[in-house]
Structure 1
Amino acid sequence: MMQASSGVGIARVEVEVTIAAPRERVWKALVEEAGRWWPRDFYVGQTPKDFVIEARPGGRVYEDWGNEAGALWYTVLVVEPPAVLELAGHLTPAFGGPATTTARLTLKEEGGATVVRVEDSVFGRVDENTSPRLREGWRALMGSKGLKAYVEQQTP
């Protein structure tokens, strides 16, 4: 769904990925081990040291480049372990903005597996490519290139 007026509008996507592991394991990997599963080509810095999710209200989601340098992706709005992580961030012009983004990640246990659902909304400068790009990015991040691949590799 997209409404645009002079390039300003709203883009909203929903993505679901099923991970063959219990919810507590997926949550732990999501918030405590992000630097281990975050795909290399998703970093914006040249020489990132880590990717960090501070899972507490007001916490940061950021790239750590060392020496107090880095990139802030999101601020944590809501944390309900092991089920909900809500984030808010800003897209600068270098990353397609100016725009504001809010993302809600929910983890639901289904028959020994975990369904990770991402709902992401971007308000600001959007175009016809924004939603497909977001959907593709979240699928890769939560799926075959990121969290799912990492957790399923680690889980016996």
Structure 2
Amino acid sequence: MANMETASIHQFEFEIEIAAPAARVWQAMTDETDAWWLPDFRAAGADSVVTFDARPGGTLVETSPDGSGLVWNTVQMTQPGKTIYLVGHQAPDWGGPKLSMLKLSLETRGEA
């Protein structure tokens, strides 16, 4: 019989203040993902490229010139400029099987 672990659910909430208009943050988050994606998180190699199609059904994908790649997340729902919900499946080679659900929300505080 296979060794099975008890399933568990973990919830984390982080809040980060960014000194920029929400529209600019959204643009950086969705259109410029490769520019801020950390080298330590590049699963397909140092020369990989990370792209983000922020429409429902779109994906956050990492690809490399040799054809290697990884779908990090799939977009479940989006309200452009405000909120995006992502669902990710983690493979056994990466500590899975795991399912992650991520909500990214932008909120303007103070002067915009």
TM alignment of 1:24-39, pairs within 5 A: 24-39=23-38
Q: Which has the higher contact order (CA 8 A, sep 6+)?
A: 1
CA distance in 2, matches of 1:93, 1:99: 8
Structure 1 residue runs of 4 or more that deviate by more than 3 Å after TM superposition: none
Name 1:110's counterpart in structure 2. Answer: 109
**1:19-69 deviations in Å (ceiling 9; x for gaps):** 000000000000000000111111112244311110100001110213543
Alignment length (residue pairs)? 109
Q: 1:21–1:112: 8 Å Cα contact kept in structure 2? A: no
CA RMSD across the alignment: 1.7
* TM-score between the two structures when normalised by the length of structure 1: 0.65
Give 1 or 2: higher helix fraction: 1
Structure 1 residues not aligned, in runs of 5+: 114-156
Q: 2:63–2:69: 8 Å Cα contact kept in structure 1? A: yes
TM alignment of 1:139-154, pairs within 5 A: none
Name 2:49's counterpart in structure 1. Answer: 50
Name 1:70's counterpart in structure 2. Answer: 69
CA distance in 1, matches of 2:111, 2:38: 26
* TM-score between the two structures when normalised by the length of structure 2: 0.89
Q: 1:88–1:101: 8 Å Cα contact kept in structure 2? A: yes
Percent of matched pairs sharing the same residue? 35
Amino acid at match of 1:90: H
Give 1 or 2: higher strand fraction: 1
